[in-house]
Chains A and B, each alone.
Chain A
Amino acid sequence: AQSVTQPDIHITVSEGASLELRCNYSYGATPYLFWYVQSPGQGLQLLLKYFSGDTLVQGIKGFEAEFKRSQSSFNLRKPSVHWSDAAEYFCAVVGDKLVFGAGTILRVKS
């Protein structure tokens, strides 16, 4: 069965600084990978997805993620964080079902 680990429960970055959120997955076949963002009291919004092809994928709001098969990772990055990026971020992998990581709460300090 597939699984996802997000090792960082909370991350705090300064506005304008770069960001990397870590995600490791476990799945026997080629994974379909996703990053979703959830703002307080809101639903989940898709940031980006990886199905195949180019291992560096671009998403909305200036986010990108890199798939590294050798490391079973799909880390999310953003070169310059804005205060509005403060939210909870979920990495997910789909095999027979969509499985989410526990989430990483991003705090942005000004």
Chain B
Amino acid sequence: DTAVSQTPKYLVTQMGNDKSIKCEQNLGHDTMYWYKQDSKKFLKIMFSYNNKELIINETVPNRFSPKSPDKAHLNLHINSLELGDSAVYFCASSHNRDVQFFGPGTRLTVL
């Protein structure tokens, strides 16, 4: 049983396009996150939602918009994609400050 799943696993697109990444967790957690891992493997939090409410919003461009339709889902929509958006995006979930469980990642390549 997959705990945290993300789709798609790979995403290749042109500059200027709009794309979405979906995330679902079946762990019953109340908090979900999006992280970006750059080419140097540095992991940085982008957003965090607790019970569908945004609680962390790092200095991320407005082109990135998370959406949480329910506690088990946190999707990431990206408008007007730029070359610098190329990275691996990880979804994670946790119960409050407890251990975060990570999805397998989505490798986004912007051409």
Evaluate contact between A49 and B99: CB separation under 8 angstroms: yes
Please report whether the interface of chain A is mostly helix, strand, loop or mixed according to DSSP. strand
Contacts between the two chains (Cβ within 8 Å), count: 39
On B, residues with C-beta under 8 Å from A are 33, 40-45, 48, 56, 90, 97, 99-105
- Interface size bucket, A side? 20 to 34
Q: Does A56 contact B (CB under 8 A)?
A: no
Instruction: Kindly list chain B residues whose C-beta atoms are within 8 Å of the C-beta of A96.
Output: 56
A23-63 CB mask vs B (1 if < 8 Å, else 0) is 00000000010101010001111100100000000000000
Look across to chain B and name the residue whose beta carbon is closest to the beta carbon of A49. B99
A76-109 residues at the B interface, CB under 8 angstroms:
88, 90, 94, 96-100, 102-103
Distance from B3 Cβ to chain A, minimum over Cβ atoms (Å): 10
